[in-house]
Amino acid sequence: MADNTKTLKIWQEAAAETKECLPLETLERMVDSPSRDTKAAAHMAGCAHCQTELAMLKNFEQSTPSADEGAAVAWIASQLARQQNATVAQQKVARVPFWRTMFRVPYMAGAAALAAVLIFGFSFYHGNSDGPGRINPGLGNGNFRSGSIHLLSPIAEQNAAPAEFRWDAVQGASSYQVELKDVAGITLATAKSTQNVLPVTPEMKANMVSGKPLKWKVTALDANGKEIANSSLEQFKVK
């Protein structure tokens, strides 16, 4: 048993591929005629692996397929051709010009709806706006904005401490309360105004230190002192 195993191992090592074995291109050239390369011919004479590969290649090249094999190959070829034609047809259907899809009914309906919304928003803004930065001369007349208060200035970075606070007027407001806060939300100073502008008070100005971020908000009050609208916090900083 040990002798048989040893013999098998020796045979396997002899038939195993080595780095010096000939490449497939050289073996294909040697199928029809002996190689003119003396080095390749010498290696073939002493290499069991290359001799086996050459014999298998010759057998494959010279063999004639049976009728059943020919039919199977023909069926596989027809299936591949059918799949390839189907893929090409799908690609042709998918490659519809972009400009054609834009004129389909769903796209046209969506575009019309978007245009209507934009036109309505534009007309509403210009119909209700009295322009940025305009101060209402009196709370009893003029154009007002209702709802959330829009703060105008100061915002973002300021080259110097601002001289006043400005915001949009609110319909029905008798007075406004302005609060100056730090970034933690702690109130530093408050003041009231009967118009939509407030000159900076000394207490507020004392907190406007260079490089220190601050926040401010406005609350609109009616004649009874009841809150009717307010703004979100707006941040600014003196350079």
For each of the chain's 239 residues, which pLDDT tens digit applies? 566 666 656 656 666 778 888 787 877 777 777 667 788 888 878 888 888 887 887 777 666 656 666 677 677 777 788 877 776 656 655 565 655 555 555 556 666 667 666 665 655 444 444 444 344 433 433 344 445 899 999 999 999 999 999 999 999 999 999 999 999 999 999 999 999 999 999 999 999 999 999 999 999 999 999 999 999 999 999 99
Res 88: pLDDT: 61
Cross-sheet strand order for the sheet of 151-153: 151-153, 164-167, 197-199
Look up residue 203 and give its two tokens. Answer: 């207490």
Placement of tokens 């709806």 in the chain: 113
Calculate the alpha carbon distances from 115 to 73, 95, 99, 135, 144 in Å: 61, 29, 19, 33, 28
DSSP state of 212: -
* Integer Cα distance of 120 and 128 in angstroms: 12
* Integer Cα distance of 198 and 165 in angstroms: 5
Helix locations, the chain, DSSP H: 2-15, 24-32, 38-46, 48-62, 67-94, 98-101, 105-128, 202-206
State the virtual CA torsion across 192, 186, 203, 155 in degrees, nearest 10. Answer: -70
* Integer Cα distance of 208 and 236 in angstroms: 10
DSSP state of 103: T
Res 87: pLDDT: 67
Bridge-based pairing state of the strands 164-167 and 197-199? antiparallel
Among candidates 181, 173, 195, which has minimal Cα distance to 234?
Answer: 181
Res 4: pLDDT: 61
CA atoms within 13 A on the CB side of 81: 6
